[in-house]
Chain A
C-alpha cells in the first residue's frame, strides 16, 4: 500500500528533552512537509523540503529542526527551545506534477509535561 506513515502515534516527553518524530512515504513524492495543529486552529507549516538535502523554514520553525537525507524520509526534531511543544503533528508529501496535491499521514500527538 502506498502512503505516509508517522510514528509513534502518541509520544510523551518531559520538558527540556529533545524528541524526534518520524515520517516516511513510499509515494515517490519529491516534496515533504511538517505541520502543527492546535485545537481550534488551522494547520501551521513548520518546515518543508522540495528535494533531498534541502529544506526551508515555514511559518513557525523556531524550536524545530529537520533533515532530508533520503527522498522517503523527513524526520522532525522538537527541541527544548520550543516553548509550547504539546500539539498534534502532521506530515505530508506531494509530487511535482503540476497539481501539487498534498497527502497526509495519520499524525503524532506529542505531550510534553
Chain B
C-alpha cells in the first residue's frame, strides 16, 4: 500500500522567505504526483502536476521537483507572501489513477 508522508506538519516563516515543502512516498511506481493547496474549510486547488517521466514543473513562484527513484518530491515557493498561508497537500497516482494523499503541511507566512 502506498504511504505518503509530508514533513514538517507545520511551518511558520517571515514574509519574503523561500518555502521548501517535502513529500515522500514508499512505492516509486507512480504515474504522476500532484501538489494541492487547501484553505481552511475549502476544497483543494491543484497547483502543479508532475508526470512520472518529468523531473520538475514550474508555475510562477512555484517549482516542484520529482525524484521517483528515491520516492521524493519537493515544492518550492519563492518569496513567500501572507497569502501563501494554507495547507499544502501532495498526492501520488499509480496506474489505477487513484490518488494517495499525505496529511499535508500547514504553512503560516508572518507579515
Taking CB as reference atom, which chain B residue is nearest A88? B41
By a beta-carbon cutoff of 8 Å, the part of chain A in contact with chain B is: 4, 6, 31, 33, 40-45, 48, 50, 58, 88, 90, 92, 94, 99-107, 109
Q: How far is the CA of A102 from the CA of B45 in the complex (A)?
A: 9
Whether B51 is near chain A, meaning CB under 8 Å from some CB there, is: yes
Q: When the two chains form their complex, are residues B42 and A106 in contact, meaning their CB atoms are under 8 A apart? A: yes
CA distance A48 to B89 in the complex (A): 20
Verify A100–B31 contact, CB threshold 8 A: yes
**Chain A, residue nearest B42 (CB):** A106
Q: Does B103 contact A (CB under 8 A)?
A: yes
Interface 0/1 of B29-69, CB less than 8 Å to A: 00110101000011111100101000000000000000000
Contact B44 A104, beta carbon cutoff 8 Å: yes
**B4 on interface, CB distance cutoff 8 Å:** yes
Q: What are 20 A-B interface contacts by the 8 Å CB criterion?
A: A31-B97, A42-B4, A42-B89, A42-B100, A42-B101, A42-B102, A42-B104, A43-B89, A43-B91, A58-B98, A92-B44, A99-B49, A100-B32, A101-B32, A101-B34, A101-B46, A102-B46, A104-B46, A107-B41, A107-B43
- Smallest CB gap from B36: residue in A: A104
With a cutoff of 8 Å between Cβ atoms, the chain A residues found around residue B51 in the complex are 99
Given contacts A43-B99, A94-B97, list 10 more A-B pairs with CB under 8 A. A42-B102, A90-B43, A99-B49, A99-B51, A100-B32, A101-B34, A102-B99, A104-B44, A104-B46, A109-B41
- Nearest CB on A from B58, distance (A): 16
* Chain A at the B interface: SS class: strand
A99 close to B103 (CB less than 8 A) = no
Question: With an 8 A cutoff between CB atoms, is B81 at the interface?
Answer: no
Distance between Cα atoms of A94 and B99 in the complex (Å): 11
